[in-house]
Chains A and B, each alone.
Chain A
Amino acid sequence: MTITTGIEKKADVAAPPAGARARFRIGRTAKYALLVLFLIVVLMPVYVLVVTSLKPPQDVNPATSWGLPLRWPWESVAPGGPTGFDNWSIAWEALAPAIGRTFLLAIPAALISSFLGSMNGFVLSRWRFPRADWVFTFILFGMFIPYQAIMTPLVQMKTGLGLPSGIGTLLIVHIIYGLPICTLIFRNYYVGIPMELMEASRVDGAGMLRTFGSIVLPLSLPGFVVTIIWQFTSAWNDFLFALFLSNQREGPVSLALNNLAQGAQLANYGAAMAGALLASLPTLVVYIVLGKYFIGGLMSGSVKS
């Protein structure tokens, strides 16, 4: 790791006297020490997850909970007994069908809400009509409500309409309640990019749909990346709607994981932790691969652009 050139340059510009320089160096060392300390603290739970998931049940003991596994994950305490890898296969068996279902939920939810959001965002930022601000605020409020506030009638509505407890119902719900945030993100995005071309096409008499389809949509890829990440992650991680509207057998991975962790095999911490890691993998991959946009998405989640 090379020590930055950036800071030193700035320090040169400021040209502090020798005493200040030494103070600066101490301050910088302290800062790095603090940053690394926080790094370790933040990573601690991950360490526990990984280490515990690789221990056979007999080795999971409170007294050695922070220690590395005593044996290789494929070795057993007794010949033929459970190994650390067994945790992973137990977790996989418990979660695999639900993981598949959750992909079928999160991907369409992300795509459909994003597309609708981009149309709304376009209209509310670039092809405005009187009282557009009111309409925007009307839509936005839906993002902040505690979903508990609509849960009782929603559950009744689901029962009343005879909707199934599977992924389909959850998909509809995620699309609907994803609309506000997607609209917000696209509106902020479109406000931020200059679109003279759009104005020109408007002057040339192109209709709204044509302008949207041929000029705005092709420029929207970065916006889509952000909303898709946001929607995918929130649909994947959702527990509230899943718990109220679905059930363990037909529901998404959050329910299956909760069942694995709190269900019948209560004592099997190793399998629960392996399961937690498995269930987090897709969103972690999204975060790692698209990290830059992930941050962008988080920013767009705050109201002010």
Chain B
Amino acid sequence: MRKGIRNWGPPLLLVSPTVVILGIFVYGLIGANVSVSLSDRHSLQPAENFVGLDNYFALFAEERFLHSLYNLGMFTLFFIVGTMVFGFLWAWMLDKGVSAEGVFRSVYLFPMAISFVASGVVWRWLLNSAEGDRASGLNRIFESLGLGFLQNPWWSDPTWGMAAIALPAIWQLSGYVMALFLSGFRGIPEELREAARMDGASEWKLYRHVIFPQLSPVALSALIIVGHMSLKVFDLIMAITKAIYQTEVPATYLWVALTSNDYAKAATIATILLLFVAVLIVPYLIYTARSEKAER
């Protein structure tokens, strides 16, 4: 026992500041947030009453919040599909020995280094909704390429608008997914491919039965990362449209609520957002921890 403390005491001591800090600033504040969401603090005045889940019921009865959920769903769908498709496609094309691979890789990846605020400046302009003679941005390109029928109002469209907001996000993060897939491709030992070829497997069969299955853990990681980024989307929308109804998602609605000092509402939206992310992340963290333990 004494030996145990001598061995474990110092490492525990070393991580304890981090554990305490995160205990307060992550878990403590999450707790504080939940408790505000259960109160009636709708103004600068301190909360008076515990109101249970009333704020949650009120929010889900609100057309505006449901609209923000619809927008988030739409954005997430297009964002995930877009980044996964382009990320995979680029990695696949680059995997099989391409000259100047470094150039392609660097260019595909560089948007990741730029902030959404900065890229929002140009994308707000590219996604300009004016058509015909007044068209600018992408609509202007379509017009001049003779693809005028592709012109559309982009994010001002109430049904499909959020798909347009996903475009810059896809532009920015496909390279990241590509990098993940590329490391997955590179992690497959050459012998495995050779062995399959020796056995007379066609290229397609090689991919179908050897390479794709090996990539599924990477694909899962990419999906989780992109998915949780999508649920948190905020900067991009603020930069392109500001916090307006048409492109509202829970994260920007929270900003609107907080700036009008409706603390309880902001906290309620935050808790719902956290639950969404937790549903995605917690099983993944448990799965990762388990599979690592198995490897050890």
Chain A residues within 8 Å of B, Cβ to Cβ = 1-4, 6-7, 10, 14, 31-32, 34-35, 38-39, 42-43, 45, 48-49, 52, 62-63, 65-66, 116, 119-120, 123-124, 127-130, 132-133, 135-142, 144-157, 176-177, 179-180, 183, 207-209, 233, 236-240, 243-244, 254, 257-258, 261-262, 269, 272-273, 275-277, 279-280, 283-284, 286-287, 291, 294-295, 298-299, 301-304
Query: For this complex, into which size category does the number of interface residues on chain B fall?
Result: 35 or more
Closest chain B residue, CB of each to CB of A261: B121
Asked whether, in the complex, the Cβ of A123 is within 8 Å of the Cβ of B11, the reply is: yes
Asked whether, in the complex, the Cβ of B277 is within 8 Å of the Cβ of A145, the reply is: yes
Asked whether, in the complex, the Cβ of A3 is within 8 Å of the Cβ of B99, the reply is: yes
Tell me the bound Cα distance from A72 to B165 in angstroms. 34
Asked whether, in the complex, the Cβ of A66 is within 8 Å of the Cβ of B258, the reply is: no
- B97: chain A residues within 8 A (beta carbon): 4, 6-7, 10
Asked whether, in the complex, the Cβ of B271 is within 8 Å of the Cβ of A149, the reply is: yes
Asked whether, in the complex, the Cβ of A279 is within 8 Å of the Cβ of B115, the reply is: yes
Tell me, yes or no, whether B162 is within 8 Å of chain A by CB: no
Which of A153, A238, A243, A291 is B106 in contact with, Cβ under 8 Å? A291
Asked whether, in the complex, the Cβ of B117 is within 8 Å of the Cβ of A254, the reply is: yes
Kindly supply a per-residue 1/0 record for chain B positions 264-277, scoring 1 wherever the CB is within 8 Å of any chain A CB and 0 otherwise: 00110111011001
A interface, by DSSP: helix, strand, loop or mixed?
helix
Asked whether, in the complex, the Cβ of A65 is within 8 Å of the Cβ of B136, the reply is: yes
Asked whether, in the complex, the Cβ of A39 is within 8 Å of the Cβ of B104, the reply is: yes
Asked whether, in the complex, the Cβ of B10 is within 8 Å of the Cβ of A209, the reply is: yes
- A129: chain B residues within 8 A (beta carbon): 7-8, 11-12
Asked whether, in the complex, the Cβ of A149 is within 8 Å of the Cβ of B225, the reply is: no
- B11: chain A residues within 8 A (beta carbon): 123, 127-129, 132, 208
Closest chain A residue, CB of each to CB of B238: A239
Asked whether, in the complex, the Cβ of B8 is within 8 Å of the Cβ of A65, the reply is: no
- A157: chain B residues within 8 A (beta carbon): 29
- A35: chain B residues within 8 A (beta carbon): 90, 93-94, 98, 104
- A130: chain B residues within 8 A (beta carbon): 8
Tell me, yes or no, whether B107 is within 8 Å of chain A by CB: yes
9 shortest A-B CB distances, which residue pairs? Answer: A62-B136, A237-B115, A153-B32, A149-B274, A150-B29, A287-B113, A129-B8, A276-B121, A4-B99
